[in-house]
Amino acid sequence: MEKKTFVTKEKLDEIIQTFPTPFHLYDEKGIRENAKALKEAFSWNKGFKEYFAVKATPNPFLIQILREYGCGCDCSSFTELMLSDAMGVKGEDIMFSSNATPAKEYELADKLGAIINLDDITHIDFLEKTIGRIPETISCRYNPGGLFKISNDIMDNPGDAKYGMTTEQIFEAFQILKEKGAKEFGIHAFLASNTVTNEYYPMLAKVLFEVAVKLQNETGAHIKFINLSGGIGIPYRPEQKANDIKIIGEGVRKVYEEVLVPAGMGDVAIYTELGRFMMGPYGCLVTTAIHEKHTHKEYIGLDACAVNLMRPAMYGAYHHITVMGKENEPCDHKYDITGSLCENNDKFAIDRMLPKIDIGDTIVIHDTGAHGFSMGYNYNGKLKSAEILLKEDGTAQLIRRAETPADYFATFDCFDIGRQLIEESHKIWK
pLDDT at 1: 66
Q: If pLDDT is split at 50, 70 and 90, which confidence band does 190 have?
A: confident
Using CA atoms, how far apart are residues 193 and 208, in angstroms rounded to an integer? 17
- Give the chain's domains with CATH numbers: 28-279 (3.20.20.10)
Percent of the chain with pLDDT over 90: 93
Q: Which of 68, 26, 112 is nearest to 366 (CA)?
A: 26
Q: Tens of pLDDT along 347-399?
A: 999 999 999 999 999 999 999 999 999 999 999 999 999 999 999 999 999 99
The helix (run of H) or strand (run of E) holding residue 106 is helix 103-111
- C-alpha 185/C-alpha 219 separation (Å) is 11
Can you tell me the mean pLDDT for 50-68?
98
* For residues 84-99, average pLDDT: 96
The rounded distance, in Å, linking the Cα atoms of 267 and 282 is 34
Q: In this predicted structure, what is the pLDDT of residue 335?
A: 98
Residue range 215-271, pLDDT digits in tens: 999 999 999 999 999 999 999 999 999 999 999 999 999 999 999 999 999 999 999
- pTM here? 0.95
What is the per-residue pLDDT across 325-336, written as a single tens digit (0 to 9) for each?
Answer: 999 999 999 999
Q: What is the pLDDT of residue 145?
A: 83
Contact 318, 237 (CB under 8 A): yes
Question: Can you spell out the DSSP letters for 261-302?
Answer: GGGT-TTPEEEE--SHHHHGGGEEEEEEEEEEEESSSEEEEE
